Chain A
């Protein structure tokens, strides 16, 4: 299915020295025997797969959650998660994609449709009867934390109608589907913070980053989405505008995941990689440049900070933590759980829901251990926030929302800009 080159991720299997560190860290293999572990399904199994094979010899890669903990701990640089993703794509190529996974890959379209009449969509999707039916018919886990459509309109509509700050310094914002359709508040907080720094925010045309498709093995369709984004973002990249994103997983895909998995290494993808920033990372950069305002209000509270596996995969340290630590009174506590378990669309699948919840238990326990009084949890990825809300009944907030609140711009509880509250 895929062209093979010396740069293909599968070639990194040659780096494997069989040490088993990935196997001992894999959060999925720790809770289920349906997945044999990253080494077994990744570099080891890859030696038994061939391009042009009639059928894939193994299907257990389907149980890889793509959390990338294996990549992170591998001392040799094997791109295990990507090898698994490509093996999944090969299976999809051979056998077609299950209807459910086809839907998961198209969350942008679902978002858009639901956005037409969000109240009705929420009612239609989020009632016990339809969730039960979705589980029985499609295999969508009935208890999994599927987000609600925003009932206050989508983010882009909000952005279009508001009065913008005009400034010399500009920054482009990649909001992603979830901010646009489910959590516009995250985007509003981000814009407020960016403008507070004195930057004019521009909104490039954009589409789904393709992560759900990549995770579900729909590579040809994912490539279309990625190329489309490449084209849409190119003018901003060419102008040297930093493109910041609040969804750390979207940023990761645009930066490197899509390029690696789809074998698209070229000057254009390199340029995009150089231009993309996780918003916390970019804010930390401003801090290091002495450009970050520190006119913070005191926030007296404990906030557990779950480090998303997607954020770890950026290999950028803990910028969210670095920035939040500046806020007086705020007690941010970093957890060391490997993964929340939900991992993209993994935990939404009926057969994987229990695995996802068991994987998440470490993170839930960490949050609960921070005391009864904890109201909010924070994580850079929306997926993690939803899973933590589901597992701990706390409220999930993006670090930029907390930052906006500390700047006195944002009501953390009602998720509204103070300027817009009547």
Chain B
């Protein structure tokens, strides 16, 4: 079994884990991060994309609100290119006329969150589809954040600082010290792509597995009661607004609408669930989001929706048993030596995307304390690669495609992904599925949901035969992950002698279709249904995609994609085998 020795082992490749790896590497620790799937596959990649100003929590959770505004200001500098400066409105709809708006305004002032009341007329001029019957509107510095890109850029910053990031490495169990079961000395992890185990020995193990933190901790005999709060979101086909809209009231279901990239996201529900892995989207959730969405943007329920998805908040509150909506959004670092008598293990849990950097800072502070090191945090002043491009703006891909005459190079026409972007992503990030490339370059995230790009991408990967062995990640110093987003900054590749890591192009195609289908099922009506009928004709009638060769092949993700989707007999048999 291959062995790796390190100072810190970080478990979990979401915003928090990657943030911890970045922070730790910058402080000079030898750091290894393991993620059981692709980076951001969990909660980070399933969030609505709201960079909080803190306004949402000013009344209910002022401490969280304060952290939000502070981190908001920091991230605008350290992760500028991952953020769109949309600004946000807090809208007092006819339903929200009560004492809350005044409390809100006063609390913002107390906490130093910039909050300016504007006239309804001015608000409607900026957002014509907003509810014209709103009583008051406040402007706050909310933003839209690309959590895929931010995490990838942070991961690259961590790699440049010396950290090792291992995707598709799943923790089997934490390893107790020989002769001292009350001490964790690392973890045994499975390299999912190669099907072999790796032993990672670390002076300190940091459990940043989010909603899965309880599962990890349990392998060391420690109990961490995560409250998995499922949040469901819907994406409308295009940008109906360009400013984040929040209801001005106590946080509740379906009260935020975020313009992110090319879509408009209505979020969220909050439902305590048992299993963080397989989340079902219930019809009542979709109905509720549409109904609530109409209060901020009358008519949005009739818009075209392209997708529904759910993420699970890793909420944590010691001894808490209430509803997940009311659980704190605060985070904690659990020192298991003090708490449970198990040394060598920390758990970071709770929090929200906006505060990931702060969570990492506090965690690594605690690690320093445990390892007897005195190293100050520098992440607040250290920009990650890509910030030089400035804030994200919606039109950048379109402009670059036009200026560089790349229209004939488009693989994903909806999201303007060129062939070179796809090839570079496949070469530079470990790629087991097309879904990994989706997170890298937004492949298949537009109106046709993979209808026209899936077969093209599968064909291109077949041609490339990309070598995906985890150890052959490109030198992080020569390649900027942020460039993947840019049609202009991706040169065409020389096709090398590479092989696809897992599976066949047919499997890539089936997996991705299944993955897209999963998010389409809950919103399959109207115009998106028409789209899916066309996609169905392309894949089932024209390509016979459910009877391709390699019917029995499965990837590490096949099971995940087909759950709650429509399972074919082949899938079921493959699962049972």
From B239, B299, B398, B414, give the contact of A57 (CB < 8 A): B398
- The CA-CA distance from A16 to B393 in the complex, in Å, is 24
In contact, B530 and A17 (Cβ under 8 angstroms): yes
Which residues of A have CB within 8 Å of B302?
6
In contact, B394 and A50 (Cβ under 8 angstroms): yes
Q: Does A49 contact B (CB under 8 A)?
A: yes
Of chain A, the residue at the smallest CB distance from B126 is A52
- The CA-CA distance from A19 to B394 in the complex, in Å, is 24
Which residues of B have CB within 8 Å of A16?
447
From A14, A18, A60, give the contact of B402 (CB < 8 A): A60
Which residues of B have CB within 8 Å of A60?
402
From B128, B238, B405, B414, give the contact of A3 (CB < 8 A): B128
Interface string of A112-142 (1 = CB under 8 A from B): 0000000000000000000000000000000
Of chain A, the residue at the smallest CB distance from B399 is A57
- The CA-CA distance from A17 to B393 in the complex, in Å, is 25
Interface string of A56-72 (1 = CB under 8 A from B): 11111000000000000
* Residue among B237, B398, B399 having the largest count of chain A Cβ atoms under 10 Å: B398
- The CA-CA distance from A33 to B401 in the complex, in Å, is 13
Which residues of B have CB within 8 Å of A37?
407
- The CA-CA distance from A17 to B402 in the complex, in Å, is 22
In contact, A18 and B129 (Cβ under 8 angstroms): no
* Residue among B262, B304, B396, B447 having the largest count of chain A Cβ atoms under 10 Å: B447
- The CA-CA distance from A53 to B392 in the complex, in Å, is 13
In contact, A51 and B527 (Cβ under 8 angstroms): no
A68-82 contacts to B, CB under 8 A, are 76
In contact, A15 and B527 (Cβ under 8 angstroms): yes
Chain A nearest CB, measured from B487 CB (Å): 11
In contact, B399 and A47 (Cβ under 8 angstroms): no
Interface string of A179-210 (1 = CB under 8 A from B): 00000000000000000000000000000000
Contacting chain B: which of A38-46, A93-101, A364-372?
A: A38-46
In contact, A59 and B402 (Cβ under 8 angstroms): yes
If A15-B527, A19-B534, A60-B402 touch, whether A47 touches B262 (CB-CB below 8 Å) is yes
Interface string of B146-167 (1 = CB under 8 A from A): 0000000000000000000000
From A19, A39, A45, A50, give the contact of B239 (CB < 8 A): A50
From B395, B530, B534, give the contact of A49 (CB < 8 A): B395
* Residue among A13, A15, A44, A52 having the largest count of chain B Cβ atoms under 10 Å: A44
Q: Does B531 contact A (CB under 8 A)?
A: yes
Which residues of A have CB within 8 Å of B407?
36-37, 40
If A13-B238, A57-B402 touch, whether A18 touches B452 (CB-CB below 8 Å) is yes
Interface string of B281-318 (1 = CB under 8 A from A): 00000000000000000010011100000000000000
A20-43 contacts to B, CB under 8 A, are 33, 36-37, 39-40
Of chain A, the residue at the smallest CB distance from B410 is A40
In contact, A14 and B238 (Cβ under 8 angstroms): yes
In contact, B242 and A51 (Cβ under 8 angstroms): yes
Chain B nearest CB, measured from A75 CB (Å): 10
Q: Does B571 contact A (CB under 8 A)?
A: no
Which residues of B have CB within 8 Å of A56?
395
Chain A nearest CB, measured from B257 CB (Å): 15
Which residues of B have CB within 8 Å of A40?
407, 413
Which residues of A have CB within 8 Å of B531?
17-18
Q: Does A5 contact B (CB under 8 A)?
A: yes
Which residues of B have CB within 8 Å of A393?
none
Q: Does B226 contact A (CB under 8 A)?
A: no
Chain B nearest CB, measured from A24 CB (Å): 14
If A48-B395, A49-B394 touch, whether A17 touches B304 (CB-CB below 8 Å) is no
Q: Does A4 contact B (CB under 8 A)?
A: yes
Chain A nearest CB, measured from B486 CB (Å): 13
Which residues of A have CB within 8 Å of B239?
47, 50
In contact, A14 and B304 (Cβ under 8 angstroms): yes
Of chain B, the residue at the smallest CB distance from A55 is B395
- The CA-CA distance from A60 to B416 in the complex, in Å, is 15
Q: Does B276 contact A (CB under 8 A)?
A: no
Of chain B, the residue at the smallest CB distance from A2 is B128
Which residues of B have CB within 8 Å of A46?
238
Of chain A, the residue at the smallest CB distance from B416 is A48
If A14-B237, A14-B304, A76-B530 touch, whether A4 touches B262 (CB-CB below 8 Å) is no
Of chain B, the residue at the smallest CB distance from A13 is B238
- The CA-CA distance from A111 to B527 in the complex, in Å, is 47
Q: Does B397 contact A (CB under 8 A)?
A: yes
In contact, A57 and B413 (Cβ under 8 angstroms): no
Chain B nearest CB, measured from A18 CB (Å): 5
Q: Does B344 contact A (CB under 8 A)?
A: no
Chain A nearest CB, measured from B420 CB (Å): 18
From B262, B299, B452, B530, give the contact of A48 (CB < 8 A): B262
Which residues of B have CB within 8 Å of A55?
395
Which residues of B have CB within 8 Å of A52?
126, 242
In contact, B238 and A4 (Cβ under 8 angstroms): no
- The CA-CA distance from A48 to B239 in the complex, in Å, is 8
Which residues of A have CB within 8 Å of B413?
18, 39-40, 44
Interface string of B438-472 (1 = CB under 8 A from A): 00000000111001100000000000000000000
Closest 10 A-B residue pairs measured CB to CB? A57-B395, A48-B398, A14-B304, A57-B399, A36-B407, A57-B398, A47-B262, A18-B448, A4-B128, A58-B402
Sample (20) of A-B pairs whose CB atoms are under 8 Å apart: A4-B128, A6-B302, A13-B237, A14-B303, A16-B447, A17-B527, A18-B451, A19-B534, A40-B407, A44-B413, A47-B238, A48-B394, A48-B397, A48-B416, A55-B395, A56-B395, A58-B398, A58-B399, A58-B402, A76-B530
Give B contacts to A, CB under 8 Å.
Answer: 126, 128-129, 237-239, 242, 262, 299, 302-304, 393-399, 402, 405, 407, 413-414, 416, 446-448, 451-452, 527, 530-531, 534
New A-B contacts (4) at CB < 8 Å, excluding given A15-B527, A53-B393, A76-B530: A47-B237, A47-B238, A47-B262, A50-B239
